[in-house]
Structure 1
């Protein structure tokens, strides 16, 4: 490795919460319109890790076990929104995502898209085949990992 290349790598940092949020927003924008229409009002949150209550509720052994989580009422359970009900939201967990990314051969953009689609999709009653099709459509215009 040349000194120039080594110098470049010495400047690179792990993506911040804000950078993962921007990547998630770009990934969401690249999803097919029909899928995004199902997601009206869904909020995307980025945290470093799930909180202790979530880890316990999900039966996780480590804070690295959960890449993302959907909270809310999906279309399969849709009805009248109750007063005081929190809006539908997806949480993406930066540190577990980065850990998974470091151990696998895929782009960070693809991983974020995958987790986003699956967290929303399962709660909206979509099949794995449906979600694979949505991901394939998004991959055609995958956001940059830059």
Structure 2
């Protein structure tokens, strides 16, 4: 695949790609996402990387922060909404390294993977969901 070289997509472009992918989540899943917040930032902060045992900030493309539906109980009512954060620069690096998919597809892939964590899905189930979204 040949790409034209231009400016790297910014945070706003990545948010738009993530929201477009989010809008294609099947209704059976979307109705259980509730108030999940999607945020984009350049990198994960050092504390998160340390907590996850990740040495390089380029190794983390996204993270789900919250309590998976499979682990929720009444004790979790009143907590902050779940959040999915996408990390722009690691995603851009992966996009450049892969060279075989669109930016929008890769953003959607990372988003669906993190949504899968919200549902407590296996990797196979995440791939099946991704096939429906992308």
Gaps of 5+ in 2: none
State the secondary structure of the residue aligned to 1:111: helix
For residues 22-67 of structure 1, the C-alpha deviation after alignment (integer angstroms, 9 at most, x for no partner) is 1100010012111212211100010000011111011111110100
Residue aligning to 1:64: 58
Which one has the largest radius of gyration? 1
Question: Which aligned pairs between 1:11-90 and structure 2 lie closer than 5 A?
Answer: 12-80=6-74, 81-83=76-78, 85-90=79-84
Structure 1 unaligned blocks of 5 or more: 1-7, 140-146
State the TM-score, normalizing by the size of structure 1.
Answer: 0.82
1:45 & 1:21 partners in 2: Cα distance? 7
Give the drift of 1:122: 2.5
RMSD, aligned α-carbons: 1.5
2:63 is paired with a residue whose SS is strand
Q: TM-score, normalised by structure 2?
A: 0.89
Stretches (4+) displaced over 6 A:
none
How many residue pairs were aligned? Answer: 129
Asked if 1:132 corresponds to 2:123, the answer is no
CA–CA distance in 1 between the matches of 2:53 and 2:20?
31
- Does residue 121 of structure 1 match 2:128? no
